[in-house]
Amino acid sequence: MTPQETALVTTLLERLKTIDSADKDRAAEILIRQAMTEQPDAAYHLVQTVLIQDLSLHVAQNRIAKLEKSLAEPRIAHFLPNSFLGGLLTRTNRLPRPLHSPAKTSCRARQWQRSSVT
């Protein structure tokens, strides 16, 4: 057992000492005592389970707090205006040069126009 684990177990057992036991459910107490008699290692496993769940709870709480903080922080959005190409063309991204010369393009355009008419 590591020193950190020792501290966790000790803290848990100290917390248990401070709990007022005046309002125990008698049937539950009998059932627990009977189980402890039948399974002597039950207390060990219960302490281990409680500590694992406690640590998991703290991790989850910290994660939730971090997510809530990130949601609360103002966000600066750099949205490009809506456009046909979704803002792909900006001042830094110019139109690509045509693959064909304008004469060839216009010739192809004429061929397309003729084929679409017929």
40 has pLDDT over 90: yes
Tens digits of residue pLDDT in 43-83: 999 999 999 999 999 999 999 999 999 888 776 555 555 66
| Three-state DSSP class for residue 59 | helix
Query: Would you tell me the crossing angle of helices 42-72 and 26-38 to the nearest 10 degrees?
Result: 120
Spatial contact of 105 and 98, defined as CB atoms under 8 Å apart: yes
* Confidence (pLDDT) at 78: 56
* Confidence (pLDDT) at 2: 94
Alpha-carbon gap, residue 95 to 90, rounded angstroms: 9
Band the pLDDT of 20: cuts 50, 70, 90.
confident
